[in-house]
Amino acid sequence: MARLDRLLANLGYGSRREVSALVAHRQVELDGVVIKDAGARIALTPDLSSRMTVTGRPLDPPAPLTLIMHKPLDVVCSHKEAGRSVYELLPMRWRARMPSLSTIGRLDKDTSGLLLITDDGEFLHRVISPRHHVAKRYVVTLDRPLDGTEVDTFADGALMLDSETTPLAPATLEILGERLARLTITEGRYHQVRRMFAAVGNHVTALHRDRIGALGLPDDLGPGDWRVLSPVEQGRIFA
């Protein structure tokens, strides 16, 4: 149960005072009935967004919320980095949500593909924690032809990246073409994929993540598109 004014304020609809004014102006309805008391206690059922309206529109999905996005090129994953961020692709009001939304790991500005965004700290931790070995798969386009030796170099668990003190965990490389490969890693070190190819004398010219665990980037999600991740899809991440 949550107080209506706190629920709406936490979803970014305004301060407690502002959302109380919305209620006073008969702008909030539950099951088609106007709610008159900003202090009303609301049961946080999964179907709440389809039962409650604010100014005639369905309530934003309450926490915990996880989104799947097809991150386009040229947007950043951090609030602090310069440039347009993935958060700007979401509704403006969501920037004021509490708990706030954060990306699960990061993709570089010049990397596209599957990105998860959540306000669920426990879920975020499960996905990024090295203990859970969640596989992340990337399609990599390279500047120079692959010579095939990279497969063993990446698989043997001894590759050391510049200025690091522990070797990388084994990674799986599938060669798809002269300059095209799929790389699956279970860690998330800084610029890991680009640095792995730099370590074998190559250079990544395009990078796209197409899978996390057994969750693939859906074909109907174009660059910049996003939607709420279903519980079944969440489960695929750990399958």
Residues labelled as active-site residues: 108
Q: Between 76 and 229, name the residue whose CB sits nearer to ligand URA.
A: 76
Q: Which two tokens stand for residue 132?
A: 């859970």
List binders of ligand URA among 52-111 (CB under 6 A). Answer: 107-108, 111
List binders of ligand URA among 105-164 (CB under 6 A). Answer: 107-108, 111
**What DSSP character marks residue 164?**
-
CA distance to 29, 55, 173, 225, per residue, from 69 (Å): 30, 27, 25, 6
Distance CA 111, CA 215 (A): 18
For the bound state, the minimum distance from the C-beta of residue 108 to ligand URA, rounded and expressed in Å, comes to: 4
Q: Which two tokens stand for residue 103?
A: 């990306």
Q: Between 97 and 194, name the residue whose CB sits nearer to ligand URA.
A: 194
Of 49, 141, 184, 192, which lies in the binding site for ligand URA, with binding defined by CB under 6 A?
192
List binders of ligand URA among 197-216 (CB under 6 A). Answer: 207
Among 125, 117, 75, residue whose Cα is nearest residue 95: 117
Instruction: Evaluate whether 168 touches 160 at the Cβ level (below 8 Å).
Output: yes
Q: Of the listed pieces 157-165, 171-179, 192-200, 231-239, which binds ligand URA according to CB under 6 A?
A: 192-200
For the bound state, the minimum distance from the C-beta of residue 109 to ligand URA, rounded and expressed in Å, comes to: 8
Among 205, 202, 210, residue whose Cα is nearest residue 183: 210
Instruction: Evaluate whether 31 touches 40 at the Cβ level (below 8 Å).
Output: no
Of 194, 212, 213, 237, which lies in the binding site for ligand URA, with binding defined by CB under 6 A?
194
For the bound state, the minimum distance from the C-beta of residue 210 to ligand URA, rounded and expressed in Å, comes to: 12
Q: Which two tokens stand for residue 111?
A: 């990397």
Q: What H or E segment, with its residue span, contains residue 21?
A: helix 16-24
Q: Between 65 and 212, name the residue whose CB sits nearer to ligand URA.
A: 212
Q: Between 37 and 74, name the residue whose CB sits nearer to ligand URA.
A: 74
Residues making contact with ligand URA (CB under 6 A): 107-108, 111, 191-194, 207
